[in-house]
Amino acid sequence: ALREAAGGRVVRYDASLECELRQRATLAADLRRALTDGEFHLLYQPVVALPGGELDGVESLVRWRRPTGEVVSPADFIPVAEDTGLIVELGAWILDTACARAATWPGLRSVAVNVSARQLLDPALPDVVAAALSRHGVPPSRLTIEITETAVFGGGRALATVKALSALGVSIALDDFGTGHSSLGLLRTCPVDAIKVDKSFVDGLGGTPEQEAIVTALTGIAETMGLRTVAEGVETAEQARRLHQLGYRHAQGFHFARPLPAEAIDDLLRQRQPAAA
Ligand code: C2E
Ligand code: MG
Ligand code: MG
Ligand code: MG
């Protein structure tokens, strides 16, 4: 329905907005209960070496299974968990769970955990990470914390937290690299060990020469600075082949493996053969 706004401007009256707000409040309450009831679990997506596809590390990705059996994507609930602050508690559970698994995977170079902007504003985060590592006897060097450029853009407390995390000895990876603010500038101010080149750049391969030039330049800069580069969202053999040609040594994506339950990673480590889709 359309309503006449006070200034004579025609605005759309949206009954679905109220509905959406109510849904969000319900979701927030459900999430709190889900944490107590153990409805979250982690999947682990292999990060592989190019060109052979040997398993190098894993990235943990959270899932929420409702009592109905429906599995909810993090894209749908992480923003709500951030708004309500529940991400701090949920994030601590994720770190502890990932570290517990990392302890059982000594042959795996690294286990990565995503940390959201709101978590970086919590000055206690480095202590939470250090406690999870020592609880499970995992050396800091085997944990990678994935942050986004946007979360640390502007410096302040988030940047201070990242510096404290780095001082612990954990690796810092810049996720979705190239899509946020100040991608390159951040490499000067923020302690970074790895960049994860966003899927959108991988999707651009085989397009214009300009697109390939960007993909090449990103790994060129990173390697010169001594950073690892991981190409994200690799879905085809052709993309993998081209990325290797352009100088990429590590990749992640459905072409190699989907996010998998921990038991499937156990199997891959037992076999120690290329993680194939
Ligand atoms: P991200 O960290 O960039 O994770 C990569 C996402 O891309 C994952 O989606 C993964 O399943 C998906 N992906 C991997 N390979 C491919 C591919 O070849 N093709 C396509 N189309 N997608 C691929 P997911 O698991 O749904 O996670 C989405 C985002 O939610 C993550 O993006 C991350 O920002 C956030 N997230 C996931 N787990 C956590 C967590 O434990 N904590 C926090 N704070 N955020 C998380
Ligand atoms: Mg990530
Ligand atoms: Mg990513
Ligand atoms: Mg991404």
Of all protein residues, whose CA lies closest to atom 42 belonging to ligand 1? 114
Query: pLDDT higher for 272 or 206?
Result: 206
122 lines ligand 1 (CB under 6 A): no
ipTM associated with this complex = 0.98
For the chain, the average pLDDT equals 92
Of ligand 1's atoms, which has the minimum distance to the CA of residue 75? 30
Query: pLDDT higher for 25 or 112?
Result: 112
Of all protein residues, whose CA lies closest to atom 27 belonging to ligand 1? 74
Contacts 24+ apart (CB under 8 A), 182-190: 182/149, 182/153, 183/149, 184/221, 186/149, 186/152, 186/153, 187/221, 187/225, 187/227, 189/155, 189/159, 190/152, 190/159, 190/162, 190/163
265 lines ligand 1 (CB under 6 A): no
| pTM to 2 decimal places | 0.92
- In the numeric block, the tokens 């510096």 are attached to 163
| Arithmetic mean of pLDDT, 184-205 | 93
pLDDT tens for each residue of 15-31:
788 888 888 889 999 99
- In the numeric block, the tokens 């076999």 are attached to 271
- The Å distance, Cα 50 to ligand 1 centre, comes to 21
73 lines ligand 1 (CB under 6 A): yes
pLDDT tens for each residue of 57-82:
999 999 999 999 999 999 999 999 99
Of all protein residues, whose CA lies closest to atom 46 belonging to ligand 1? 114
- Using CA atoms, how far apart are residues 61 and 111, in angstroms rounded to an integer? 11
